[in-house]
């Protein structure tokens, strides 16, 4: 099963978020957390030369900062449902 991407960044530094990701969900600002994740990940890869895997792990920590365990489960569940969403073909 192919998953759609939630957010990312290009070679020119443009950071983007999938338009199907809601701005907030159950009081959690989803888009701003994804943007923070991508900014941190990009900075770690470019400035510190970390591999994608290490940079991604550290960026996840900054993305989840300030959330409780239950909130993280809700947040990740919503992101998973957006990533699995398939638009109907016309």
Strand spans (E) along 1-90: 7-9, 15-17, 24-25, 28-29
Q: Is residue 90 part of a domain?
A: no
Q: Is residue 57 part of a domain?
A: yes
**Is 21 within 8 Å of 79 (Cβ atoms)?**
yes
Alpha helices in 13-51 (DSSP H): 30-47
pLDDT at 90 over 80: no
pLDDT, one tens digit per residue, over 34-78 is 999 999 999 999 999 999 999 999 999 999 999 999 999 999 998
Domain of residue 28, residue span: 7-84
**Tokens matching residue 80:** 């998973």
- Structurally, the chain folds into a number of domains equal to 1
Q: Is residue 39 part of a domain?
A: yes
């Amino acid at each position: 099963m192919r998953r759609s991407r939630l957010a990312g960044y290009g070679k020119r530094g443009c950071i983007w978020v999938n338009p199907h990701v809601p701005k907030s969900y159950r009081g959690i600002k989803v888009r701003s957390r994804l943007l923070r994740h991508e900014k941190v990940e990009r900075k770690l890869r470019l400035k510190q030369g970390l591999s994608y895997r290490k940079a991604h792990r550290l960026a996840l920590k900054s993305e989840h900062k300030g959330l409780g365990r239950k909130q993280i489960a809700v947040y990740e569940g919503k992101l998973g449902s957006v990533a699995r969403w398939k638009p109907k073909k016309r």
